[in-house]
Amino acid sequence: MKGTISVKRDGKWVTFSGEYEATTPVTVILSELNSRDPLLDVKGREVEPIEWECSCGQKVCGACAMVINGTPRLACSTFFGEAGPDIRLEPLSKFPLIADLKVDRTQMYDSLSEMKLWLDEGVDAKVRNIDLQYASASCMLCGCCLEICPNYTGRGKFFGAAGMNACFRIADQLDGAAKRARLKEFARHGDSGCSKSLSCGQVCPQNIPLAVLISRMNRDRIISRFIRD
């Protein structure tokens, strides 16, 4: 199947042509393009190889997240047959751009650190809602949920679904003051800035039930105002 692959570079589109099977993932297409020597666009001009990230190639690491035909997705699980024959690739816009399709996600990791989303040493963690815990833990921190979110900018105190999901996973294992401390972080950096558009759940590559997790946290936050363990 013949088609074109357009990559946004320095605010302009660079287009390449190729022929691929319907089952070819975008990651393989990008690798094939970069293997060409020289790499020529559709106008026959020689251009630099495409900068992008990929690690596992198996929908586990989240490194290959990018905007594909206007929607944030993982390149490794997006196939030519569904996205083609004309594919448009852009970098995630909510993170600082490094080059081409490669971005710096440091701000997301720093947000999780600011919310203190870890279990302190010696804390007696409880196993609850094991199915939701498991689903929450599948988060790859790819950033797709933040890219689609109308409220997340990367500059304010709202840390988006990535932060709220991680907060659920920790708070759900805690009781008492430790739990209330995480719920306070959820209120400050999550719920207070969320307009509940729930677009995050629609693009999550792992289909994490974000609406359910956010609702659980809201319920626990309200209950914590009246009950002290």
Which has the higher per-residue pLDDT, 178 or 98? 98
pLDDT tens for each residue of 16-67: 999 999 999 999 999 999 999 999 999 999 999 999 999 998 899 999 999 9
Give yes or no for a contact between 65 and 52, defined as CB atoms under 8 angstroms apart: no
| Class of domain 106-224 as given by CATH | mainly alpha
Distance spanning both ends of the chain, measured CA to CA: 62
- Above 80 in pLDDT, residue 225? no
pLDDT number for residue 127: 82
In this structure, whether the domain defined by 2-103 belongs to CATH 3.10.20.30 is answered with yes
Which has the higher per-residue pLDDT, 137 or 177? 137
pLDDT number for residue 229: 57
Give residue limits of the domains in the chain: 2-103, 106-224
CA separation for the pair 206, 140 (Å, rounded): 8
Helix intervals (H) in the chain: 26-34, 80-83, 106-114, 130-137, 144-148, 160-171, 176-189, 199-203, 210-224
Give yes or no for a contact between 133 and 172, defined as CB atoms under 8 angstroms apart: yes
Average pLDDT over residues 3-27: 97
Tokens of 106: 């440091």
Same-fold call for 2-103 versus 106-224: no
| Residue 176's pLDDT band (cuts 50, 70, 90) | confident
Q: What mean pLDDT, rounded, does the chain reach?
A: 93
pLDDT tens for each residue of 110-131: 999 998 888 877 778 888 889 9
CA separation for the pair 91, 212 (Å, rounded): 29
Tokens of 73: 């997705």
pLDDT tens for each residue of 57-106: 889 999 999 999 999 999 999 999 999 999 999 999 999 999 999 999 99
pLDDT number for residue 123: 78
- Above 90 in pLDDT, residue 221? no
Secondary structure, 3-state, 156-183: CCCCHHHHHHHHHHHHCCCCHHHHHHHH
pLDDT number for residue 97: 97
